[in-house]
Structure 1
């Protein structure tokens, strides 16, 4: 393979970085492209895949910050009234920020206590639009706890949204993440005296850790989070599964103690 081809591939990765894409996003793009190229080789459309020896930017391990119930309550109270329910939506259902911004009224099943996640707000040419979720696995249904259902019902009663639940107060537009984070989120976390780098994603982490601490199987949590692979969930939250070894010992003892007459 020529040095010119290697330079072109390195330039492609550099362009993705210059667009502001995160290392994990670049890795996802590369993985999809590499899969297409492998298919092209298999179908004999090209002789050799160009997706070899490409050095991708290093993806730092995700820092997991968990919020206490008291911190969530304080943050909820610090938010502007029209956006308060977003805090409970994040911590009560684990939705990603874009998914929360794109949640529509007809995706709420109050009778069965479920939320349908099948769209999110994305930016195209600096404009927020409704788009598809991050991956096919991100299209899902998640349980709606009572405290979240009550907050959503109040929000609907107060603001009567026609479709998407949360919009900008002045122009009734879809919410842009940069606007929300700078104008709404940052002032709220400052008022709540939370660390300045607290993110909306920390609510998602808190949702996952709370469910796991209560003994919910990690496979179910993975499905609710919309992860493509349970490996992602285990890598992020496996260490939060409480007393796994102790529970395993008790389960095995219960099953086999009498059979082997162990006292």
Structure 2
């Protein structure tokens, strides 16, 4: 760990000294520029003295040097097929979260520097999931740098990240859902019923338009969802992934929850506020969800609105619906997502596998 000292010369001027121990000896370096001293200290602690001195020599040279910041900025600009909200989030990573190592020349980035950056985020209280997201962004940027010959290998590849537990899902029984729904005021019950009977994401359900509903066939077409732009604004866009664009069958209770659509325009939102505007997640949480939770017992459970989606999946699995059908219904990009999320609920398949082995071994 390096330390910093502000010292005075005989002529009254001051300079900044950085002190550290190297090979068992006290070592120091002085700077007239305090900001340069701070940067050197950061590089010293994250990459070691040799790399810090090399970085200092390159940065002091008046030629252009590709740094983590300049490379990541170019990487973000060159991304294709991503939402503007994603670009804005990545730019925030560069400005806020990579600031301590951003001035590091690309050639000087190594596993030790990345490990120091990760450890700093963890020491500052960042969650495992947050660290994984930010590390994943940097790993992607440096992967492109490797492909273009700017780095011999990706220094993020072998980083051991802090563990993070996935937020526990909450599954409601039919009776528990009924208790929760009945604790809501009348105007919010249809949306809650629609969410649990279709398994739609909240952003999909509240983007559903009248023209997306085929009452005769008992289906809905999910082709849009509300998307965050990263600037506290939401806009209509495509759903979460390619396979999230889907047509699904829905039960009579879901059709009933949408009300009479016959006299409504095809472009109108199915679910709206009393002012005919879209239902925002925060509004639903404040006006419907939270008050209902305070009234309903639910055997001590504290579900989130998204748990209505999980509850729908659990009811399907209990009824014997195969996981690939659930994958298509829920719009998961891969069956791996479905199995990883809900596979533990599918006891019937495990029981069938066990019974098959038992039957094969009968008589021996």
TM-score where L is the length of structure 1: 0.76
140 and 48 in structure 1: CA distance in 2 versus 1, 3 angstrom threshold: same
Residue of structure 2 equivalent to 1:193: 297
Residue of structure 1 equivalent to 2:246: 140
Residue of structure 2 equivalent to 1:243: 348
Alignment of 1:1-263 (within 5 A): 3=47, 4=101, 5=109, 6=113, 10=117, 27=132, 31=136, 34-35=139-140, 37-39=142-144, 41-42=146-147, 44=149, 47-49=152-154, 51-54=156-159, 56=161, 58-124=163-229, 125-152=231-258, 154=259, 156=261, 162-170=267-275, 172-194=276-298, 195=300, 197-248=302-353
Computing the radius of gyration from Cα coordinates, the structure with the larger value is 2
176 and 244 in structure 1: CA distance in 2 versus 1, 3 angstrom threshold: same
Counterpart CA distance in 2 for 1:168 and 1:157 is: 19
34 and 134 in structure 1: CA distance in 2 versus 1, 3 angstrom threshold: farther
CA deviation vs aligned residue, 1:32-65 (integer Å, no higher than 9, x gap): 7645653553354765445435565543134232
Contact 2:211 2:267 in 1 (8 A): no
24 and 91 in structure 1: CA distance in 2 versus 1, 3 angstrom threshold: farther
TM-score where L is the length of structure 2: 0.57
Q: What root-mean-square deviation, in Å, do the aligned CA atoms of Structure 1 and Structure 2 show?
A: 3.9
Contact 2:225 2:239 in 1 (8 A): yes
Q: Which runs of 4+ in 1 moved over 6 A?
A: 157-161, 251-254
Question: Which moved further from structure 2: 238-247 or 188-197?
Answer: 188-197
Cα distance, 1:159 vs. partner?
8.4
Unmatched 5+ residue regions in structure 2?
1-42, 48-100, 102-108
Unmatched 5+ residue regions in structure 1?
none
SS at match of 1:233: helix
Counterpart CA distance in 1 for 2:214 and 2:307 is: 25
Task: Report the number of matched residues.
Answer: 254
Question: Which moved further from structure 2: 85-94 or 73-82?
Answer: 73-82
Counterpart CA distance in 2 for 1:119 and 1:28 is: 25
Structure with more helix by fraction: 1
